Amino acid sequence: MQERHRLGEEEITRELLRPLVTTTPMMWVGFIGLGAVLAIFVFAVSWMFYWGLGVTGLQRPNMWGFMIVNFVFWIGISHAGVMISAILRLTQAEWRRPVTRAAEVMTIFSLMTAMLHPVIHTGRPWRTLYWVFPYDFWRNLWPDVRGPLVWDPSAILTYLTGSTLFLYTTMIPDMALARDRTTGWRKVLYTILALGWRGNERQWKMQTIAGFLLSGLILPVFVSVHSIVSWDFAVSLVPTWHATVFAPYFVIGAIHSGVSAVVTLMALMRWLFRFDHYIRLEHFDAIGRLLIAVGTGWLWFFLLDIFFAIYPQEPRETEIMTFRLFEWPFNVFTALIFIFGYFIPVPIWIFQRFRRNVKIMFWTSILVNVGMWAERYWLIKPGLMRKYEFTFDWNWYRPSIVEISIVLGSFALVGFLLLVFSKIFPPISVWEEKEGQHFAQQLQVGKRVVNAIVREF
Amino acid sequence: MAIREVLGLYRDLDSAVAAADALREAGFSRNEFEVLSNAPYPEGTFGEESGIHRLFVFPLIGAACGFAAGLLITGGTQLSFPLMTGGKPLLSIPPMIIIMYEGTMLGALIFTVLGVLFESRLPWIGRALYDPRITQGYIGILVRTAPEREARAIEALRKANPEDILTEGSKAGQQPARG
C-alpha cells in the first residue's frame, strides 16, 4: 500500500467525526427507508407471536425454515468482520485502518440479529429465559451439554462478548477525543465510555498490545463459532447434513460472504459519509485480491461437500443430492450459488481495473451474498423435505409472507443499527488513522523518494 | 511528600522531543514525566519509557478460570444428576471439550480486557493535569515532581517553545505561565 495522502490532524478529526454532527439527505433516506422495512419486520414478528407459528410455512417435517437459514447467514456475515480486523492487525497491514471499526461493528450487529432468529423462532420468546436457564438447584436438573443446542449459544455468546470487548477496547481513545469536543448528553456519554483516558505512553502501549492479544484470542473463537453452528446440522442424521466437511465448509463460506459484506459496507461508507480520503481504491484492490483466494477456497469446499455426498453411493444421500441439483426450485438455487457466488464475481476481481472500481466491487459483493444466502437455503432445506422411514407425514416448505418479511427486516435491522452507530460513534477509528500518519515515513532510495512505514514487533 | 504537576503543551513533534531532551538535561528522570498525545508514536520517540507490565498474565489466569467454569458446568452438572440416556457415557468428552473450550476463550478474552484496563490505569478518576487540546493534536509533556523542582521543570519546558504551560491551580486556556 504505497498510495498515501498526507492529512492534517484536525482534518482527520473533522472529517471522521462529520457523520456524528451532520446528517446528509442520503442518511435521512437510509433512516426512513430502513426504518419502514424495520416496522414491517416488527409487525410480522408481532403477528407471528399473536397467532403462533402456524402463520409461517413451518410444518412437519419442515420445522426449520427461513428463520434458521437466515440465522446461519447472519452468523456467517458476522465472521469476516472480526476476522479481517484480527488478521490485518496481527499482520500489521496498513490498509486495515479504515476498515477495522466498521467490520467489528458489523460483526456485533450481525451476531445480535442472528441470535434474534432462534429466539423468535421459538414462537414464545418470553419463555426463552425459562428454557435457556433451567438451572434448577433445588432438584439438581441441568441442561444436557451433550446437545448441540447448548454448544451453539455458548459459542455465539463467547464470540459476541469477545467482539464487543474487542471493539470497545479499541474505541476508548476515540471516546476521549469525542469527550473533549462535545457538550450535553454526548459529553456525558463519551466521558463515561472514555474511562478517563489521557493518552499517555503506557496507555498507548497497552492499546497496541491489546490489539495483538485480543486478535490472537478472537481468531480461534471465530473459527469455533461457525464450526459449532455447522454441527447443529452435522451431528444430526438428516441426509446431506451428516457430513464431516461441514465445519471447515461453513467457516470458509462465512468468510466468503462476510468479506463481501465488508466490501459492501466500505462502498456504502465511502458514498454516504464521503470518506474518499480514507477508504481508497487501494483498499478495494487489496480486499478484492483476498476475495479471490477466499472465494476459490469456498468453491473447493462446496464441491467437496457434493463429492462426499455422492461418492459413497448411499441411496438417501444420492437422492437428496439429485433433488438439489436437478429438481425445481433447487436447480435454480444451484445455478444462483455457482454463478453469483463464484463465476461472475471472481473472474471480475482478477482484473485490477475492476477491483479499483467501487461500483463494480459493490455490486459483485452484493451478488456474492445473494449466492451465499441461496447456498444456506440449498444446504438446509432439501434434506428436510423428504420422507424417511420414521417420518409420519411430510410436505414441501413454502415460506409465508411473515417469514419473507422477517428475512427482509433482518437486513434492515442490521443497516439501521449501523446507521445509528455511525451517528453516535466514529465509524472509522480516528486514532488509528492518525497513528498511520505518525508512522508514515519517506525513504530516499537512490534518486527516488519512496513511501515507507515504521513497524514495531 | 507532595507532588506537583506541570503540563507543557507543544504544537509539533520536534518541540515535544526537544522538551523531553531539555527535561533530561535538567536532571529529570524518565519516570518523572510522561508524554500525552492523541495517537501513538513509534516507541522511543521521546526516549525509552519504562515498559514493565504484566498484561500477558491476565489471559492465562482468565483461561484457567474459564476452563474451570467449563469443566464445572459440563462435568459437575452431569455428575450431580446422573441420568444415563441411550447408553451414552455420562461424561462424554467431545461435547464437554466444546463448552470447556468456549469457557476458556471467554475467560481469556474478559481477563485480557480487564488486564488492559488495569495496566492502563483505567478507569482514571483521580485528578491530573490535562488539556483537551491534546486530542486536537497538541503533545503534552506532563512532569510530576517535588514542589522545589517545579520551577526547574517549567524552565526546561520553556526551552522548547511551548504553546502553553499549565500548572496546578491554573485552568486550561488561561495560559498562566506562557512560555
* Per-residue pLDDT reduced to its tens digit, A156-178: 999 999 999 999 999 999 999 99
- Asked if B124 reaches chain A (Cβ–Cβ under 8 Å), the answer is yes
Structure-model confidence comparison of residues B131 and A437, the more confident one: B131
Residue B127 inside a domain? The answer is no
Shared domain check, B61 and B105: yes
Residues A115 and A331: their CA atoms lie apart, in Å, by 30
> Is B142 in Cβ contact with A224 (below 8 Å)?
no
Structure-model confidence comparison of residues B106 and A91, the more confident one: B106
- Which chain A residue is nearest to residue B30, measuring alpha carbons? A201
For residue B173, the model assigns a pLDDT of 43
> Is B117 in Cβ contact with A10 (below 8 Å)?
no
Residue B37: strand, helix, or coil: coil
Mutation pick from B43, B49, B106, B143 vs chain A, by most beta carbons of A within 10 Å, is B106
To the nearest whole angstrom, how far is the Cα of A371 from the nearest Cα of chain B? 31
pLDDT over threshold 90, residue A73: yes
To the nearest whole angstrom, how far is the Cα of A367 from the nearest Cα of chain B? 34
* Domain total of chain B: 2
Q: Identify the domain containing residue B98 by its residue range.
A: 57-119
Q: Which residues of A75-110 are buried (b: 16+ CB within 10 A; e: fewer)?
A: bbbbbbbbbbbbbbbeeeebbbbbbbbbbbbbbbbb
- The secondary structure of residue A343, as a DSSP letter, is I
Bond preceding residue A61 cis, omega within 30 of 0:
yes
For residue B46, the model assigns a pLDDT of 79
Nearest to B102 among A155, A214, A456 (CB): A155
pLDDT over threshold 80, residue B161: yes
A90 and A216 in contact (C-beta within 8 Å)?
A: yes
Over the stretch B19-51, which tens digit does the pLDDT of each residue have?
A: 888 888 888 888 888 899 988 888 777 776 666
Nearest to A213 among B59, B73, B102 (CB): B59
Q: Domain A9-453 classified CATH 1.20.1630.10? A: yes
pLDDT over threshold 60, residue B177: no
Residue B46 inside a domain? The answer is no
Over the stretch B48-94, which tens digit does the pLDDT of each residue have?
A: 666 688 889 999 999 999 999 999 988 888 888 787 877 878 888 88
Name the band, by pLDDT with cuts 50, 70 and 90, for residue A454: low
> Is B42 in Cβ contact with A454 (below 8 Å)?
yes
Nearest to B128 among A146, A165, A198 (CB): A198
Cα–Cα distances (Å) from B86 to A141, A385, A388, B89, B157, in that order, read 18, 27, 22, 9, 78
pLDDT over threshold 80, residue B110: yes
CATH at residue B30: 3.30.70.120
pLDDT over threshold 80, residue A141: no
Over the stretch A307-350, which tens digit does the pLDDT of each residue have?
A: 988 888 888 888 888 888 998 889 999 999 999 999 999 999 99
* Range scoring the smallest mean pLDDT among A346-360, A372-386, B98-112: A372-386
Q: So where are chain A's domains?
A: 9-453
> Is B35 in Cβ contact with A201 (below 8 Å)?
yes
Instruction: Give the sheet arrangement for strand B4-10, strand by strand.
Output: B33-36, B139-145, B4-10, B164-167
Length of chain B (residues) = 179
Between chain A and chain B, the number of residue pairs with CB atoms below 8 A apart is 177
To the nearest whole angstrom, how far is the Cα of B176 from the nearest Cα of chain A? 21
Residue B126 inside a domain? The answer is no
To the nearest whole angstrom, how far is the Cα of A333 from the nearest Cα of chain B? 33
Over the stretch A46-62, which tens digit does the pLDDT of each residue have?
A: 999 999 999 998 888 88
Query: Chain A contacts of B138, Cβ < 8 Å?
Result: none
Residues A373 and A336: their CA atoms lie apart, in Å, by 10
Q: What is the mean pLDDT of residues A438-446?
A: 73
B 32-61 residues inside an 8 A Cβ radius of A: 34-43, 46, 49, 51, 53, 55-56, 59
Give me the amino acid identity at A366.
Answer: I
Query: Chain B contacts of A220, Cβ < 8 Å?
Result: 105
Query: Chain B contacts of A92, Cβ < 8 Å?
Result: none
Query: Chain A contacts of B39, Cβ < 8 Å?
Result: 173, 204, 431-432, 434-435, 437-438
